[in-house]
């Protein structure tokens, strides 16, 4: 029988721990949340981030800018926030409108306030094992595994997907935990064979229900990072849950698996930023 890894419960537990810490230590924290344009999904994410701040006891300061905002106006705002001692963390919601270079904006955020962990300095520190901010989704997956008593040390971990936000930092974190790590992508040969060797399979490909049981070793732990809306309006992941779950020892559902962890880890990074700034 397999176990469902309950990301909602674990994320709530982390947010409660953070709330208690903020209260006990009297931390005064403030997160600047910048949203450019009117992408409806981004508006929902930003709303959820602000709600989580309120729960944990972090002040959120909102900047909602029109889609016509220029790159230099956004750079100017980020620089102002960098120099504002009352702000601990800066989050610029992605994607940005096409006329704004995301890399340039990410590079402008002060590394000491980079609660998303996207700045090249944060990424570099993660790669060489130094302390710094870690991208929230992969950091959340480590928490899901640890808090579900999954042993990582020495295990074969296969990650499908090589994005800067999930796949690559995920590989670095699993390496830090002493896993043997393989990253797969669209050019990988014999993907099924590679996945079948995984003790821990982390799927972040962005294709609805692509991974069925023929990719999964009996008893593996499966983490599904994908989230998609099906024609019937229901949500699904990159993994065909009903087909795969009976072959696993533990698996994350969609929704209620990885998703809620991203915001919990953002809150964690905000608390860490208060200790840095
Ligand atoms: N867009 C989708 N995910 C994220 C995230 O984790 N952070 C930011 N800033 N934008 C996103």
Residue 4 pairs in a beta bridge with 251
From the CB of 225, is ligand 1 less than 6 Å away? no
> Could you read off the pLDDT of 162-208 as tens digits, one per residue?
999 999 999 999 999 999 999 999 999 999 999 999 999 999 999 99
How remote is the CA of residue 46 from the centroid of ligand 1, in Å?
Answer: 9
Residue nearest to atom 8 of ligand 1 (CA): 93
Instruction: Look up residue 105 and give its two tokens.
Output: 């904006």
Taking the C-alpha atoms of residue 15 and residue 12, their distance in angstroms, rounded to an integer, is 5
> Could you read off the pLDDT of 44-80 as tens digits, one per residue?
999 999 999 999 999 999 999 999 999 999 999 999 9
How remote is the CA of residue 275 from the centroid of ligand 1, in Å?
Answer: 23
From the CB of 126, is ligand 1 less than 6 Å away? no
Instruction: Look up residue 230 and give its two tokens.
Output: 């099906």
- pTM above 0.85? yes
3-state helix, strand, coil in the chain (%, to 5): 45, 20, 40
The three-state secondary structure class of 48 is helix
How remote is the CA of residue 211 from the centroid of ligand 1, in Å?
Answer: 24
From the CB of 174, is ligand 1 less than 6 Å away? no
Instruction: Look up residue 80 and give its two tokens.
Output: 């102002």
From the CB of 94, is ligand 1 less than 6 Å away? yes
Taking the C-alpha atoms of residue 228 and residue 207, their distance in angstroms, rounded to an integer, is 8
């Amino acid at each position: 029988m397999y176990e469902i890894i309950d990301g909602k419960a674990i994320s709530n537990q982390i947010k409660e721990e953070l709330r208690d810490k903020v209260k006990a230590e009297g931390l005064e924290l403030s997160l600047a949340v910048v949203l450019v344009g009117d992408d409806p999904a981004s508006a929902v994410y930003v709303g959820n981030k602000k709600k989580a701040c309120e729960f944990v006891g972090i002040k959120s300061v909102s900047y909602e800018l029109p889609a016509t905002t220029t790159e230099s106006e956004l750079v100017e705002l980020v620089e102002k926030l960098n120099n504002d001692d009352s702000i601990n963390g800066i989050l610029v919601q992605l994607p940005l409108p096409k006329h704004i270079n995301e890399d340039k904006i990410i590079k402008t955020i002060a590394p000491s306030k980079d609660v998303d962990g996207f700045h090249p300095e944060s990424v570099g520190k993660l790669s060489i094992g130094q302390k710094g901010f870690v991208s929230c989704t992969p950091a959340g997956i480590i928490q899901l595994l640890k808090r579900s008593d999954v042993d990582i040390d020495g295990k074969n971990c296969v990650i499908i997907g090589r994005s800067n936000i999930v796949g690559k930092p995920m590989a670095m974190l699993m390496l830090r935990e002493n896993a043997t790590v393989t990253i797969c992508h669209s050019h990988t040969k014999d993907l099924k064979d590679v996945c079948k060797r995984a003790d821990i399979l982390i799927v972040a490909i962005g294709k609805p229900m692509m991974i069925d049981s023929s990719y999964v070793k009996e008893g593996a732990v499966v983490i599904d990072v994908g989230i998609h809306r099906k024609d019937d309006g229901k949500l699904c992941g990159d993994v065909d849950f009903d087909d795969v779950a009976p072959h696993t020892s533990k698996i994350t559902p969609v929704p209620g698996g990885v998703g809620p962890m991203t915001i919990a880890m953002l809150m964690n990074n905000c608390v860490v930023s208060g200790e840095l700034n």
